[in-house]
Structure 1
Amino acid sequence: MASPASVLHVALLVLPDTSASTLFGIYDLLLSARRDWQMLMNRVEVEPPIQPSIVSRDGRPLQIANDVTVHPHAGLADVQAVDVVVVSDLMLPPWLPLDDRYDVEAAWLRERFAGGATLASACSGAVLLARTGLLAGQEGTSHWGYCECLQDSYPETQWRPEKALVAAGVGQRLVMAGSGTSWHALALYLIARYVGAEEAMQVARLNVLNWDSSSPLAYAAMSRSLQASDALVARTQEWAAQHYDSEAPVAAMVQMSGLAERTFQRRFAQATGMTPLDYIHTLRLEEAKQLLESGDLPVEAIALEIGYQDASFFSRLFRRKVGLTPAQYRRRFGSLLRRLAGAAVDS
């Protein structure tokens, strides 16, 4: 994993057959890591820990699939030291031999791999990755429509079309994403592996990404760490952040404010956009999401942990606010977090 002070340099290889959506989608997701979460949640600007760049054979503008013009940041000769190279998908018929049309890029990929870089492909980009010869004896994946032809052309690779993501080779430095929009999984994997699982989860939540279909509400961080500009309200927010699990927290906040209850309620709503009770609920439910993601504590115990004596009320509230039951949330996001954490540990 990259240290907090370091920047991960990722080269996105663009070719005349590249599709713009995957190329720029990966670019935007990688560049958003940490930066967008801090901007939206804390209103602070931070430098992103990943610096992607778009690289072509000669660095000149080129027209790619669907008549989109791309202006690369650099040519192959300009990029020698790089941490990760990503081959985006190729809009080529799966039965059409690649032949030698991209052998210059294949040779450059082999050189970068020999220099210690991780090579990754999205969807049909595995066609070029296989051309390097580096996948021989390895497991691989690509779009399901390409795997049969790839198996015929590269029989020494075990092609697994059912897998969304494969990390192969010594040090798992050969990474492939499978069909369609599984490039999301590739971007999340790279963020988790080189920056951290938590940052990858933040990107997933902000962009409503998962390997499974989920309620968009499940990704939303309902609480905000932003403090109101009203100093009195901000002081009660600080208290609530530490004591949201206490009995009658709203009454305690009113008492702390020194205001009449109705006055405090109105002032709190004006400063935060929600009632004190809704604010307490969002803090509790956000903590519940963290507990569901990271452990196996029973739902009843989680309810007590965050301040609800009635587990059934907690479950109903969670479903209404998040769009999933606590059990459904755990199955989907606990699995995602474990996979992302595994990527971080394996790096």
Structure 2
Amino acid sequence: MAKKIAPVEIALLIYPGCQLAAVHGLTDLFHVAERLFQRSNQRSKSVEHRMLKVSHIQFDAGSSSPPWADDGAPDFVIVPPSLETMPIGDAFAPIVKWLSDCHARGAVLASVCVGTFLLAQTGLLARRSATTHWSEAQFLAESFPEIHVDGDKLLIDDGDILTAGGVMAWADLGLRIVDRLLGSAAMLETARFLLVDPPGREQRHYSAFSPKLNHGDKTILEVQHWLQQDGARHPTIALMAQRAGLEERTFLRRFQKATGLRPTEYCQHLRVGKAREMLETSQQSFDQVAWKVGYEDAGSFRKVFIRITGLSPGDYRRRFRTQSN
């Protein structure tokens, strides 16, 4: 006789401005995963019961408290992305409290994209690693300096808290949860059925370099504009310092304080950005690309490219080149 076991409850949070496509996409993903799992194990009497229960938790704007009964916490709570306003501030205080309460009762919390900002406001991410959309990683780090923000990662699984990066990273998060609940075979079968890459991608494969320009140091900003136009092709510290009208030591200190990067790192990001564009839109060899962005040693630039993007130039071109290329 099959043993009756209560299904694992996965609650998807619906809040003002959230991406409903992620809510419905995750709902479908978990339903597909369970159906495939049951089909694969239909001869086993131990899996006749439901494995997963997906619920939607609605949080309406202007509510003083969330409209749900205080009768226990789900096993997982997923905060989807927002495509409108950033989910921070007093208006979200009730939902932040509910998330904290759920975690205290043993729920695993998860977020996608800027949904991480809701988790951040609970204080539960302090001294932990977390990710968000690459374009908001710096803002997250500045707003919550106690969090170790890793904008290169598409997914960080920290046991009781999971954070996923880009807007569409809900698929990666969903597959990771399927892996944890139903096993790797079920996760891979679900990924194949949905034609989704299994977890393992990195956000840096997709992120573009967004230099910090609102730091208020006009002298450094002028150097940044010069580097963007042409200066990053053959940069030297001496030349950049001369352009800024500063002593080299002073320039290095001010540049890193303003941009968060050393000048050499900054120029590497600019060069890689230009190389990515050429790999996407042209048929030039990588040696030609390396030379055009200012590297005489293509092998040296290849190492820099792999370190920043996480992909070899060939893999990057195969994944991201335009159809007309």
Q: TM-score, normalised by structure 1?
A: 0.50
The alignment status of 1:13 with 2:13, answered yes or no, reads: yes
Alpha-carbon offset, residue 211 of structure 1? 4.9
Matched, 1:162 2:152: yes
In structure 1, runs of 5+ residues without a counterpart are 63-73, 215-327, 329-347
Match of 2:78 among 86, 89, 100: 86
Query: Where does the alignment leave 5 or more consecutive residues of structure 2 unmatched?
Result: 202-314, 316-325
Mapping of residues 1-347 of structure 1, within 5 Å: 5-36=5-36, 38=38, 48-57=50-59, 75-77=67-69, 80-93=72-85, 98-168=88-158, 172-211=159-198
Return closer, same or farther for 1:41/1:167 CA change in 2, 3 Å cut-off: closer
Tell me the alpha carbon deviations over residues 308-342 of structure 1, each in whole angstroms, 9 at most, x when there is no partner.
Answer: xxxxxxxxxxxxxxxxxxxx9xxxxxxxxxxxxxx
Q: CA deviation at 1:20?
A: 1.0
Contact 1:144 1:162 (8 Å CA) reproduced: yes
Looking at structure 1, the residues matched to 80 and 199 of structure 2 have their Cα atoms a distance apart, in angstroms, of 22
Residue 79 (structure 1) shift: 5.3
Quote the offset at 1:205 in angstroms: 1.1
Rounded Cα–Cα distance in structure 2 between residues aligned with 1:195 and 1:149: 35
Question: Residue 75 of structure 1: CA displacement?
Answer: 3.5
Q: Is the alpha carbon distance of 1:196 and 1:4 closer, same or farther for their aligned partners in structure 2, counting shifts above 3 Å?
A: farther
The 3 A distance-change label for structure 1 pair 34 and 97 is: closer
Question: In the TM superposition, what whole-angstrom CA distance separates every residue of 1:3-53 from its partner, at most 9, and x where no partner exists?
Answer: 994411111111011111111111111122231465599899965411110
Deviation at 1:81, TM superposition (A): 3.0
Q: Matched residue pairs, number?
A: 194
- CA distance, structure 2, for counterparts of residue 4 and residue 56 of structure 1: 29
Task: Call closer, same or farther: CA 1:40–1:21 in 2, change over 3 Å.
Answer: farther
- In structure 2, what is the Cα distance between the partners aligned to 1:4 and 1:142? 38
Which amino acid in structure 1 is aligned with residue 98 of structure 2? W
| Structure 1 moving runs of 4+ over 3 Å | 3-6, 36-48, 211-214
RMSD: 3.2
Deviation at 1:162, TM superposition (A): 1.2
User: What is the CA distance between 1:86 and its match in structure 2?
Assistant: 0.6
Tell me the distance in 2 between the aligned counterparts of 1:191 and 1:32. Answer: 10
Q: Which has the higher contact order (CA 8 A, sep 6+)?
A: 1
- TM-score normalized with structure 2 length: 0.53
The one-letter code sitting in structure 2 at the alignment partner of 1:128 is L
Identity over aligned residues, as a percent?
29
Pair 1:40–1:196, CA change in 2 (3 A): closer
Deviation at 1:98, TM superposition (A): 1.5
AA of the residue aligned to 2:30: L
Deviation for aligned residue 1:56: 1.6
Give the direction of change, closer, same or farther, for the CA distance of 1:213–1:11 in structure 2 (3 Å limit): closer
Q: Distance in 2 between matches of 1:98 and 1:197?
A: 35
Instruction: Name the aligned partner's letter for residue 80 of structure 2.
Output: S
Change (3 A) 1:142 1:83: same
Report how far residue 97 of structure 1 moved. 7.3
Contact 2:82 2:115 in 1 (8 A): yes
